């Protein structure tokens, strides 16, 4: 009989068909497992192992790089003008005839000695002749003050100032001899033998080479400008002395000149990791930096200076950072005010102690320098005629009792209080300094009254500077409590 295709499968056929299907499915599963294992063993596992090995190598290289990068630091402390006047001079003289001024610096001794570099601006010349000592113009400071500064821990002294040649070349020579002979470990900057160049002084701390430069106002002399500065002028003059001795001592004092300063900075940058520039500039008793200061600040930044420390105005001025288009940052303290003084206004008795850290990182053939942890600690110069106490205090450690015992109250009365000192500091530091991009005042010279002259001897009027009073008047009239500044 012919078999019909449309007849249903019998039981045996159905069983065989199902068995074939199950066997085929099992074979397929086994093949999938086999291929998956082969894929893992031959492709995925080697890839994962290669990735892990690459990450391990990358981490190892990173660790090796970190280990190879060497970082060192140096701490720096700087204070302002060390201006020794009559009452303080007498305080260091004992009945036995010995002169000693160590106690003047006692309150800050631990801070000074803790710093790797401690800088002070010694405004006046030294003499070992006690009969020649003077706390007024023309100034002559006993060498025992230098001894006290060194004993306190200062190891860098700047002296390119308006008063350093008050007594002419002979006492300038005596000052140089004192530092070079009796204090050879101290780095003296700003003055030098006329036969030597004004090359930067370089100090190495923890593998960091730090170059120091120090410049003051260039003096303008004329037939009518031949007298000594008055006492009022010399307590805060903004020009180098223009008496007849200046011509002979001028080459011994480093004075602002764009060509000379640029060359000195270039030399410093080629020989050192960091350049610290001390600038004797600014207007007496004026907390707002002048246009002259701001133009020179911009010039110094363009030359690659890392830190500027300003002195001379005898009062504090703001501090902060300047930044150029290339990303170079320069820390600038426009003025640290007085450190030691016998002056008699509240703002003259308010000084500042600058501190910052220089960090050097060497990675392969690349070296980077960063100025970190910049700060300013306000100081108060305290003196009492009754107990012969003359010394600066940190404002944070000053008290109402000390303020009430300050002898300056005999002159200015209740104006001198702890609260007013704190208010004045906050007021000065709140001012925003608008940077200048002008260059019109860079190479002017100054007469003994602070007037400016160009290279042809023509009087130059300062139309760009504003005083702190004008600043606050402008702020009040605008109704704005802030002003754009790259330094804040």
Distance CA 425, CA 374 (A): 17
CATH number, domain with residue 107: 3.60.21
Contact 201, 211 (CB under 8 A): yes
Residue 251 forms part of a structural domain: yes
CB atoms within 10 A of CB 67: 8
pLDDT of 404 higher than 70: yes
Q: What pairs with residue 73 in β-bridges?
A: 359
More confident residue, 234 or 113: 113
Distance CA 157, CA 203 (A): 13
Residue 236: predicted pLDDT: 33
Residue 168: predicted pLDDT: 92
State the pLDDT confidence band at 61, using cuts at 50, 70 and 90: low
DSSP run (H or E) holding 47:
helix 45-68
Residue 488: predicted pLDDT: 40
State the pLDDT confidence band at 482, using cuts at 50, 70 and 90: very low
Residue 11: predicted pLDDT: 64
Residue 4 forms part of a structural domain: no
Q: Average per-residue pLDDT in the chain?
A: 88
State mean pLDDT over 418-446: 97
Residue 3 forms part of a structural domain: no
Q: Long-range contacts for 263-271 (Cβ within 8 Å, ≥24 apart)?
A: 264/198, 264/199, 264/200, 264/213, 265/213, 265/300, 265/303, 265/304, 265/305, 266/303, 267/199, 267/200, 268/200, 268/202, 268/211, 268/213, 269/211, 269/304, 271/200, 271/202, 271/209, 271/211
For 253-280, what is each residue's pLDDT tens digit? Answer: 999 999 999 999 999 999 999 999 999 9
Residue 361 forms part of a structural domain: yes
- Cα–Cα distances (Å) from 7 to 3, 15, 391, in that order, read 8, 16, 123
Q: What pairs with residue 77 in β-bridges?
A: 118, 355
pLDDT of 9 higher than 70: no
For 278-305, what is each residue's pLDDT tens digit? Answer: 999 999 999 999 999 999 999 999 999 9
Residue 42 forms part of a structural domain: no
Residue 161: predicted pLDDT: 96
pLDDT of 380 higher than 70: yes
Residue 186 forms part of a structural domain: yes
More confident residue, 473 or 53: 473
User: What's 347's DSSP letter?
Assistant: T
Residue 487: predicted pLDDT: 47
Residue 400: predicted pLDDT: 98
More confident residue, 364 or 232: 364
Distance CA 300, CA 307 (A): 9
Residue 28 forms part of a structural domain: no
Q: Domain range for residue 297?
A: 68-446
For 104-156, what is each residue's pLDDT tens digit? Answer: 999 999 999 999 999 999 999 999 999 999 999 999 999 999 999 999 999 99
State mean pLDDT over 188-213: 91
CB atoms within 10 A of CB 364: 8
Residues for the chain: how many in total? 488
pLDDT of 233 higher than 80: no
Distance CA 234, CA 466 (A): 23
State mean pLDDT over 238-242: 36
State mean pLDDT over 206-233: 69
Residue 1 forms part of a structural domain: no
State the pLDDT confidence band at 324, using cuts at 50, 70 and 90: confident
Distance CA 350, CA 432 (A): 19
Residue 140: predicted pLDDT: 97
Residue 442: predicted pLDDT: 97
For 162-171, what is each residue's pLDDT tens digit? Answer: 999 999 999 9
State the pLDDT confidence band at 221, using cuts at 50, 70 and 90: low
Distance CA 310, CA 443 (A): 18
Residue 238: predicted pLDDT: 35
pLDDT of 67 higher than 80: no
DSSP run (H or E) holding 257:
none
Percent of the chain with pLDDT over 90: 70
Residue 246: predicted pLDDT: 37
Residue 54: predicted pLDDT: 79
Q: How many domains does the chain have?
A: 1
pLDDT of 480 higher than 80: no
Chain centre distance of CA 80: 12
């Amino acid at each position: 009989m012919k078999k019909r295709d449309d007849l249903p499968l019998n039981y045996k056929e159905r069983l065989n068909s199902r068995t074939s299907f199950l066997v085929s499915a099992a074979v397929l599963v086994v093949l999938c497992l086999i291929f998956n294992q082969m894929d893992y063993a031959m492709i995925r596992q080697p890839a994962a192992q290669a990735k892990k090995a690459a990450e391990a190598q990358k981490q190892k290289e990173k660790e090796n790089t970190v280990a190879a990068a060497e970082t060192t630091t140096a701490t720096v402390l700087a204070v302002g003008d060390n201006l020794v006047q009559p009452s303080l001079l007498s305080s260091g003289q004992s009945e036995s005839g010995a002169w000693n001024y160590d106690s003047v610096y006692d309150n800050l001794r631990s801070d000074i000695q803790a710093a790797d570099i401690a800088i002070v601006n010694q405004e006046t010349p030294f003499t070992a002749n006690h009969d020649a000592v003077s706390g007024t113009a023309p100034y002559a400071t006993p060498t025992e003050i230098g001894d006290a500064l060194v004993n306190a821990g200062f190891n860098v002294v700047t002296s390119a100032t308006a008063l350093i040649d008050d007594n002419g070349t002979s006492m300038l020579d005596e000052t140089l001899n004192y530092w070079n002979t009796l204090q050879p470990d101290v780095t003296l900057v700003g003055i030098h033998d006329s036969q030597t160049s004004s090359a930067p002084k370089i100090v190495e701390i923890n593998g960091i080479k730090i170059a120091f430069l120090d410049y003051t106002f260039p003096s303008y002399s004329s037939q009518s400008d031949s007298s000594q500065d008055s006492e009022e002028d010399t307590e805060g003059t903004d020009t180098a002395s223009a008496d007849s001795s200046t011509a002979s001592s001028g080459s011994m004092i480093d004075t602002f000149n764009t060509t000379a300063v640029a060359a000195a900075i270039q030399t410093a940058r080629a020989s050192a990791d960091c350049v610290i520039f001390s600038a004797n500039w600014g207007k007496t008793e004026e907390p707002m930096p002048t246009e002259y200061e701001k133009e020179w600040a911009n010039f110094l930044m363009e030359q690659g200076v890392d830190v500027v420390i300003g002195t001379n105005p005898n009062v504090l001025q703001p501090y902060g950072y300047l930044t150029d288009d290339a990303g170079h940052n320069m820390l600038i303290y426009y003025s640290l005010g007085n450190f030691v003084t016998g002056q008699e206004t509240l703002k003259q008795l308010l000084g500042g102690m600058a501190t910052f850290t220089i960090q050097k990182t060497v990675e392969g053939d690349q070296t980077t320098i960063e100025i970190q942890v910049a700060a300013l600690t306000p100081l108060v110069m305290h003196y009492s005629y009754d107990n012969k106490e003359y010394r600066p205090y940190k404002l944070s450690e000053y008290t109402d009792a000390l303020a009430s015992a300050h002898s300056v109250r005999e002159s200015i009365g209740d104006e001198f209080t702890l609260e007013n000192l704190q208010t004045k500091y906050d007021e000065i530091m709140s001012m925003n300094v608008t940077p200048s991009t002008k260059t019109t005042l860079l190479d002017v010279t100054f007469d003994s009254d602070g007037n400016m002259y160009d290279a042809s001897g023509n009087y130059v009027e300062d139309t760009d500077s504003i005083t702190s009073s004008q600043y606050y008047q402008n702020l009040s009239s605008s109704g704005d409590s802030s002003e754009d500044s790259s330094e804040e």
